[in-house]
């Protein structure tokens, strides 16, 4: 099959799955922004999503998207290194016009994956999975605002989150325009435009996530606001 048997096909799968995940990050960032202004609104959104059939279906699709993106990333990296063979050791001079993020996409991706595992353990496990299977009766799975705020009261978690966002920014800025090039938008004019659009869009997403984490830390960690908690 062309999508699996050719290098171009594998890059197309990587690009499409990556752009799909960018859409999810955009929604997730907008949802998190609601928490800064209204914990009640955030909990209402969580309640609308919850462990309902449509949310579970979307979760399965997202998991498949992440799985495909990760598998194809390792696959393409392996194929590229195999194709270069020993030649990759022959050149020690830094290549010009090659972005740092382009040469370190796999490492950046691994950092993103490791944080996602932590993120799922902190929130998905305690919220959606907990609502569905009651894995942790001590936690109210409907009180997402409490879980998020308590997490970002910890400065170490905020610092880890910022490190993740830096890695995500480098990963997405390269991945966005690279995806557009792969799917055919690669003429001289639109290549530059998509690169600018990708940089701006990715910066907005990462700054949005960072704004939530830092603001919650200042409000509830530094200023000591009372953490709102929903009754069981």
Spell out the domains of the chain, with CATH numbers in brackets.
Answer: 2-85+101-222 (1.20.1300)
Is it the case that residue 4 has pLDDT exceeding 90? no
Greater confidence (178 vs 29) lies with: 29
Question: Rounded to 5 degrees, what angle do the CA atoms 18, 19, 21 make?
Answer: 65
What gap in Å lies between CA 85 and CA 92, rounded to an integer?
15
Query: DSSP states of 65-114 as a string?
Result: HHHHHHHHHHHHHHHHHHHHGGGGGT--SPPTT--HHHHTHHHHHHHHHH
The predicted-structure confidence for 25-41, as pLDDT tens digits, reads as follows: 999 999 999 999 999 99
Q: What is the DSSP letter of 228?
A: P
What gap in Å lies between CA 215 and CA 139, rounded to an integer?
24
In the numeric block, the tokens 């908690």 are attached to 229
pTM score over 0.85: yes
The predicted-structure confidence for 120-176, as pLDDT tens digits, reads as follows: 999 999 999 999 999 999 899 999 999 999 999 999 999 999 999 999 999 998 888
As given in the structure block, the two tokens for residue 130 are 């907990």
Question: Phi first, then psi: what are they for 44, rounded to 5°?
Answer: -65, -40
Sign of CA dihedral 194, 198, 199, 204: positive
Is it the case that residue 85 has pLDDT exceeding 80? no
Q: Which residues contact 206 (CB under 8 A, 6 or more apart)?
A: 165, 166, 168, 169, 172
User: Is-contact 75 137, C-beta < 8 A?
Assistant: no
In the numeric block, the tokens 């799975």 are attached to 141
In the numeric block, the tokens 């659009």 are attached to 197
User: Is-contact 134 232, C-beta < 8 A?
Assistant: no
Greater confidence (104 vs 95) lies with: 104
Identify the pLDDT of residue 98. 54
3 state SS of 55: helix
Lowest-confidence region among 78-82, 84-88, 195-199? 84-88
User: Is-contact 70 18, C-beta < 8 A?
Assistant: no
Give the model's confidence band at 92: pLDDT under 50 very low, under 70 low, under 90 confident, else very high: very low
């Amino acid at each position: 099959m062309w999508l699996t048997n050719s290098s171009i096909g594998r890059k197309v799968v990587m690009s499409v799955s990556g752009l799909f995940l960018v859409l999810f990050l955009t929604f997730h960032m907008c949802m998190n922004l609601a928490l800064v202004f209204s914990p009640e609104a955030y909990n209402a959104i969580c309640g609308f999503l919850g462990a309902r059939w449509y949310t579970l279906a979307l979760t399965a699709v997202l998991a498949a998207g992440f799985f495909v993106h990760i598998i194809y990333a390792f696959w393409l990296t392996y194929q590229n290194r195999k194709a270069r063979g020993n030649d990759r050791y022959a050149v020690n001079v830094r290549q010009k016009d090659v972005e740092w993020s382009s040469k370190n996409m796999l490492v950046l991706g691994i950092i993103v994956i490791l944080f996602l595992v932590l993120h799922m353990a902190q929130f998905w496990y305690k919220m959606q999975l907990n609502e569905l299977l009651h894995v942790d009766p001590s936690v109210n799975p409907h009180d997402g605002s409490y879980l998020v705020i308590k997490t970002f009261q910890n400065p170490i978690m905020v610092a880890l989150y910022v490190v993740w966002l830096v890695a995500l920014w480098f990963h997405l800025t390269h991945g966005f325009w690279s995806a557009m090039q792969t799917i055919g938008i690669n003429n001289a004019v639109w290549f530059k435009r998509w690169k600018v659009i990708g940089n701006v869009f990715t910066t907005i997403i990462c700054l949005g996530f960072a704004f939530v984490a830092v603001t919650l830390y200042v409000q509830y960690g530094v200023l000591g606001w009372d953490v709102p908690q929903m009754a069981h």
